[in-house]
Chains A and B, each alone.
Chain A
Amino acid sequence: DIQMSQSPSSLSASVGDRVTITCRASLSITTYLNWYQQKPGQVPKVLIYGASNLQSGVPSRFSGSGSGTDFTLTISSLQPEDFATYYCQQSYSSPHTFGQGTKLQIK
């Protein structure tokens, strides 16, 4: 199975900050990379698919980039509702494995 690693594992930031989370795959997954947000007690929600495509209904402050093995999720201006855990997922090779998650906390 393809291994996914995220950094950092946790991050403290303030409302209005620009935040970047990185994800690395153990081999090239072209652009089959997705990002999810999970708030406590809630189910995961897809934000970005295909590395850079914004899922319908997701605010434009979220963006994704990258290809091959290295990817980033950027939140341009943090809002209070963005404090959550973020997961990357490769969907290049089944089963579609996840990174370990990045917990975004309020500073």
Chain B
Amino acid sequence: EVQLLESGGGLIQPGGSLRLSCAASGFTFSNSAMSWVRQAPGKGLECVLAISGSGGTTYYADSVKGRFTISRDNSKNTLYLQMNSLRVEDTALYYCAKTFGCTSASCYRAYGMDVWGQGTTVTVSS
């Protein structure tokens, strides 16, 4: 069964750091580009970071550039999100998602996200 399982969320004070993990199973992880998508309470979806299958190319939304880092360990089938300098507005449910239909190894263009985890909640509050 294809599955993604996020972990690492919690309550953190503004300015703090947190690392999220996403464990993948049921597909060839190293061949798959991955993304972190967040959803603030009652709000829409925001794709904040993405990474190619090899890990050699990463993409960042302006809202998290310089603060968040995406990485992966293909030997462990795990995706990571390192979040630093957290802000109240970073409060959200964080999903990891698998991208499909990449048109190149960098996955600059693709066909969307076909597998999603259940998400892990990050709450930034004093």
- Which residues of chain A have a CB within 8 Å of any CB of chain B? 1, 32, 34, 36, 38, 43-46, 49-50, 53, 55, 85, 87, 89, 91-101
> For B113, what are the chain A residues with a Cβ–Cβ distance below 8 Å?
34, 36, 44, 46, 89, 96
Judged by a CB distance under 8 angstroms, whether B110 is at the interface is: yes
Interface size on B, residues (CB 8 A): 29
Contact present for B48 and A95 (CB under 8 Å): yes
Given A98-B47, A101-B45, CB of A46 within 8 Å of CB of B61: no
Judged by a CB distance under 8 angstroms, whether B109 is at the interface is: yes
Judged by a CB distance under 8 angstroms, whether B1 is at the interface is: no
> For A55, what are the chain B residues with a Cβ–Cβ distance below 8 Å?
114
Across the interface, B61 reaches (CB within 8 A) one of A1, A32, A44, A89, namely: A1
Across the interface, B46 reaches (CB within 8 A) one of A32, A53, A85, A98, namely: A98
> For B50, what are the chain A residues with a Cβ–Cβ distance below 8 Å?
94-96
